[in-house]
Structure 1
Amino acid sequence: MRTVIFDLDGTLADTSVDLLAAANHCFRVMGLGDLLTHPMDAKIALRGGKRMLTEGLSRAAQMKDTTVEEYYPVLLDAYREGIDTHTVMYPGAMEAVESLKTAGYGVGICTNKPEALAELLMQRLGVRDAFASLVGADTLAVRKPDPAPLFEAARRAGGTPEMCVLIGDSDTDRNTSANAGVPSVLVTFGPAGPDMAALKPEALLHDFADLPAIVAELIGTNAA
């Protein structure tokens, strides 16, 4: 079976405000105040917790590797508490997911967010049951851009790994699909949208309504 595998942050959902809030909580605990702002730092937020801590501490001239590692668990705890305060699914995302399922595709998620947090977020948003699989950063011993998590997400969704397509929003997703030898579709409506064309994916997605047709063109259909 052919499968469509989605990245989460910046692809299915705009999580940037809640991620930045968690990072700023850490900076306030350090006595540095809020160091990251939205929307200016939305792209940094979608690079993950350690990247946010690194950027903020660099701006404050407080950069130490030990500080990042020390406060990363603090950030995760803060994020867990406010994980769905401002996060929303992108317009048309779930309609596209349901259209793909109706057309016979398996649908899953492959994210570099820790699996437990990804599960919690999708449950809080009320959409977890729409996806047959969810593979996070710590589900396997490796994470994207290694292709193994993508292939695992496809398998758990009932699909043949080599017959999947990855929907994402970053060079990490583009590199994952390239390493896997499968096509990628990069969204242009996320924080890093203007940068996506330069990555030369197999397709760009400007509106989720267009996704089923793009998928069919790239990997075919599951029709007999």
Structure 2
Amino acid sequence: MRTVVFDLDGTLADTSGDLIAAANVCFREMGFGDVLDAARDAGVALRGGRRMLVEGLTRHGAMDEAVVKRYYPVLLEAYGGAISKHTVFFPGAMEAVEALKARGYGVGICTNKPEGLAEQLMRELGAREAFGALVGADTLPVRKPDPAPLVETVRRLGGDPAMTVLIGDSDTDRNTAKAAGVPSVLVTFGPSGEDMAALEPEALLNDFRDLPDVVYGLIGRNS
């Protein structure tokens, strides 16, 4: 089976608003107030919880790895408590997923979000059953850009890595695909979209409506 594997944050969905809200819970506890702004810092948010903590502490001249380590569980708890308040799928994302499935592709998610939170988010968005597999940051001992999580996602889909494409939004996704020897498609509609071309993926995606044909051009179609 040919398979299509999606990153989650910044690729399928804009999760930045809820991530930033969770980080600001931490910064308020530290006495800094709301350090991150949803409009300005979406790109930071989509790089993950630790990155948000590092960025906020750095802005206040208070970067301390021990503080990041102490507050990361606080951030995850806050995030899990309001994980889908602001999060929305990018326009056409789920329609593209259904179109791919209709063409016979296996479809899964490989994310650097902790697996439990990724499962929770997809359930709350009513979309978990649309995907045949979900592998998170802590599913295996390693995370992207190590290729093992991608390979495991494909395995769970009953697919073959040699007939797989990874859809993502970052250098992490590009490097994961390269390490696994599969083509990558990077989306251009996220906060870092203008930087995607420089990563030289096999394809850029400006609109989810184009994805089924882009995938067909890269790995063909299941019979």
Match for residue 125 of structure 2?
Answer: 125
Deviation at 1:191, TM superposition (A): 1.2
Q: Distance in 2 between matches of 1:192 and 1:23?
A: 20
Query: Structure 2 CA distance, aligned partners of 1:111 and 1:162?
Result: 20
> Deviation digits for residues 82-129 of structure 1, max 9, x if unmatched?
100000011101110001001000000000000000000000000000
Match of 2:203 in 1: 203
Q: Does 1:5 pair with 2:5?
A: yes
5 Å-filtered alignment, 1:1-224, equals 1-223=1-223
**SS of the residue aligned with 1:9?**
coil
Output the amino acid matched with 1:83: I
- Superposition deviation, residue 192 in structure 1: 1.0
- How far, CA to CA, are the matches of 1:156 and 1:209 in structure 2? 26
Find the aligned partners of 1:71 and 1:167 in 2 and give their Cα distance: 31
- SS of the counterpart of 1:177? helix
SS at match of 1:109: strand
Displacement of 1:54: 0.3
Say whether the 8 Å CA contact 1:7–1:111 is kept in structure 2.
yes
* 1:204 counterpart SS class: strand
Q: For residues 114-145 of structure 1, give each alpha carbon's deviation from its aligned partner in whole angstroms, at most 9, with x where no partner exists.
A: 00000000000000000000000000011000
Identity score, percent? 70
Separation (CA, whole Å) in 1 of partners of 2:94 and 2:176: 23
Structure 2 residues without counterparts, runs of 5 or longer: none
2:78 maps to a residue whose letter is A
Distance across 1 between alignment mates of 2:138 and 2:60: 30
Equivalent position SS for 1:73 = helix
In 2: Cα distance, 1:39 partner to 1:175 partner: 27
Aligned to 2:217, the other structure's residue is in SS state helix
Shift of 1:179: 0.4
Counterpart secondary structure, 1:182: coil
User: How many angstroms apart in 1 are the aligned matches of 2:176 and 2:60?
Assistant: 33
Q: TM-score, normalised by structure 1?
A: 0.99
Q: Secondary structure at the match of 1:112?
A: coil
Does the CA-based 8 Å contact 1:151-1:162 persist in structure 2?
no
Shift of 1:163: 1.2
Q: Within 2, Cα distance between the matches of 1:175 and 1:28?
A: 35
Shift in Å, 1:157:
1.2
Letter in 2 for 1:75: L
Letter in 1 for 2:101: K
Tell whether the 8 Å contact from 1:168 to 1:184 is kept in structure 2 after alignment: yes
SS in structure 2 of the partner of residue 165 of structure 1:
strand
Deviation digits for residues 15-52 of structure 1, max 9, x if unmatched?
A: 00100110011000111111111221111101110100
Separation in structure 1 between the aligned mates of residue 20 and residue 94 of structure 2, nearest angstrom: 25
- Cα deviation 1:131-186 (Å, max 9, x = unaligned): 00000000001100011100111111121122110000000000000001100000
